[in-house]
Structure 1
Amino acid sequence: MDQIIIQHMETVRRITEQAIMRIPEEVANIIPEGFNNNIRWNFGHIAFVQEKLVFGLLGEEMNIPSNYEQLFNAGTRPADWRGTPPSLIEIADVLKEQKARIKDFIQYRLYETLPTPFTNRAGITFYTVGEAFLFSFYHEALHIETIKQLYRAISSK
């Protein structure tokens, strides 16, 4: 079963990697009316949250650029950004590298209890690595759908 979970993570991430490569850089910062964030934020948020759910909750080193927490954590928004955010290509590289690290790291840790249970913003509490990891697939898919909606809204103008 663990191998099926890893394969599913690879499938979800492949969809995300394909999506980021189809988005032109020039539309990545546009925030259409009715949206809170842009395409760049959503891709960066996927990377940050995945890192937190897999590595951060276990107290492991989060091996993504140090500014990702300030740029892409829940509750952040592009209007508050200072400096230049990473390009889509840079985020794509982080997503790809992250997938390989997760595959190596998580295989035998899915049933490991988290040092401290983690309750997300939706009020869902995770007690094991596997619970948090499985939720990350849902989270990633939600943001891919938001990215699609953003792109449609931008393209329709």
Structure 2
Amino acid sequence: MKFVQIFQQNRAYIEQIIDTMSDEQMLVMPAGFDNNIAWNLGHLIVVQQSLIYRLCGLPTLTRRAHVRLFSPGTSPADWQDTPDLAEVRRLLTETTAQTIADAAADRFQNYRPYTTTTSFDLPTFEDATAFNLYHEALHFGAIMALRNVIRAE
């Protein structure tokens, strides 16, 4: 599956960026932004697990707490407690590895069609993976912009 190579490379780039950042930097929400790097990471994980795993009827590596913190429409401004960033970093790596292994084992069957909150129709698994790559690229750009602003401050 071609999506796996792009997914793996994009996630590797994200890991390179966050490996250079402290937890404190990942929690900064600069003026003009409505989220932070930690939220973007958690959001990528939650959405990918939902689109790829949940819609294929497979168990996810995320918990309800992750969904409450990082789903579309949530914001770090609403967090009552700071998420465990070591766990978020670990989940980024684990979800990448698990997706690669599961794609190789052809586990992504029985996909249930879905329409996103932004009205993208995803009738097939291939459509879901293409949308996920698009979504991850958008948030990769947000992570880079946040990093640049944080470093400049």
Question: Percent sequence identity over matched residues?
Answer: 33
CA shift in 2, pair 1:113/1:61, >3 Å: closer
Root mean square deviation, CA, Å: 1.7
Map residues 1-157 of structure 1 onto 2, 5 A cutoff: 2=1, 4-87=2-85, 89-107=86-104, 108=106, 112=109, 114-115=111-112, 117-157=113-153
CA distance, structure 2, for counterparts of residue 55 and residue 75 of structure 1:
21
4+ residue stretches of structure 1 with deviation over 6 A?
A: none
Aligned residues: 152
Report the residue type matching 1:95 in the other structure: L
Q: Contact 2:39/2:76 (CA < 8 Å) preserved in 1?
A: yes
CA shift at 1:109, angstroms? Answer: 5.6
CA shift at 1:113, angstroms? Answer: 5.6
Look up the SS of the partner of 1:63 in the other structure. Answer: coil
More strand by share: 1
* TM-score of the aligned structures, taking structure 1 as reference length: 0.87
Report the residue type matching 1:71 in the other structure: L
Deviations 1:108-157 (A, max 9, x none): 366x5632x21112211001112111221121111111011112222222
Runs of 5+ consecutive residues of structure 1 not aligned to the other structure: none
